[in-house]
Amino acid sequence: MNILVLASDNYYLEYTKQVFYSAHRYGNWQGEYGLFVHNVPHEKLQWFKDRGIHIFEPEPLIEEDVNGWPPIIFHKCYLVHPMMKPWKKVVYLDTDVTILRDINKITKYKGFTARKENGNLNIRGQFLHDEDLDENGLKIMNRLNKTYNLNRVALNVGVMVFETKYNSMYFFERAKQLIIEYKNVMRLPEQALFNLLFYNRWNKLPSVYNDYTYFFYTKDIEKVPHLQRKKKQSKILHFIGLSKPWDSDNYFYDLWTSNLASANDFPNCNQIGEKPSALVDVLRRADRKLRKVPMYLAHGTWLAGQQLQRYWPSAYQWYKKITG
């Protein structure tokens, strides 16, 4: 049996209901459900218990915020703890996701699997910038740079798959050690942590299971055809930017609010999620990439103009005339 889990403090607790509902209704999830919580009044957990969701309230690994991030984010470390071994696979989802279609094939991935970070951001980008570090922070980063190649592409922790046969107390204790050692220099704390913990030992998750962009604003998506394809191709949308699905100017606001309003029907609602074939997935991915071509051409034209203006102004004026 597999389990789909989230983590939440009291602030985001209500939002998790939408994730559980959409995972069941549209994701057709066939496993069990779980929720890691921190500082949540017990009476607020009854909704989840009544619906058969496993509640995990482990000891917090840290009590204070880390560079503006709350302690709950480090509850993700328990995903590698032996306590999760009753389940074969653990699928973790952030609270700022919504599920659009069948997700059960996500459990076919072995070991530890995650999607690469937005824009191929490297591991160094998960830590504070040099200008934000004090003298001790610079020393810590120098030591870190000697141990890891920080130029490697980072992983994103919004959607992760764990094969629990690799869970161990050693692995868990290693995660705790990394928090203590590097918490003062972590810009995206749990993401920095998991990039060190799984350094050179993670598998890549297809983008449809963690489909993200900063541009979920309605005004942006209505202007960009390839962004409109997300709703027609993606399995899990991840709202990583400032535009969250619970914001009224988000393109998916109506869907999100509808899911939340229907959450009380979970888990007794019918599972109606689309199950696209591998061929359909490939064709949709190709269609979406083709719709990016005009954007790339426009960007290339702009870059070419910038270089001409700098090195050959007269040619730039001619170029500007023929390109409009």
Q: What is the pLDDT, as a whole number, of residue 208?
A: 93
For residues 58 and 198, membership in a common domain is answered with: yes
Would the pLDDT of 141 be above 80? yes
Whichever domain contains 77, its CATH number is 3.90.550.10
- The answer to whether residue 126 is domain-embedded is yes
For residues 187 and 313, membership in a common domain is answered with: no
For residues 112 and 49, membership in a common domain is answered with: yes
Q: What is the pLDDT, as a whole number, of residue 298?
A: 56
- The answer to whether residue 116 is domain-embedded is yes
Name the pairing type of β-strands 112-116 and 203-204: parallel
**pLDDT confidence tier of residue 228, bands split at 50, 70 and 90:** confident
Would the pLDDT of 295 be above 60? no
For residues 170 and 319, membership in a common domain is answered with: no
Opening angle at CA 63, ends 10 and 42, nearest 5: 35
For residues 174 and 270, membership in a common domain is answered with: yes
Q: What is the pLDDT, as a whole number, of residue 19?
A: 98
Q: What is the pLDDT, as a whole number, of residue 231?
A: 76
CA–CA separation, 217 and 207 (whole Å) = 20
- The answer to whether residue 285 is domain-embedded is no
- The answer to whether residue 286 is domain-embedded is no
CA–CA separation, 152 and 174 (whole Å) = 21
- The answer to whether residue 190 is domain-embedded is yes
Mean pLDDT of 221-242: 84
Give the model confidence (pLDDT) of 151-203 as tens digits.
999 999 999 999 999 999 999 999 999 999 999 999 999 999 999 999 999 99
Number of domains in the chain: 2
Mean pLDDT of 274-288: 83
Name the pairing type of β-strands 3-9 and 89-93: parallel
Domain coverage including residue 312? 292-323
Q: Token digits for 73?
A: 């984010």
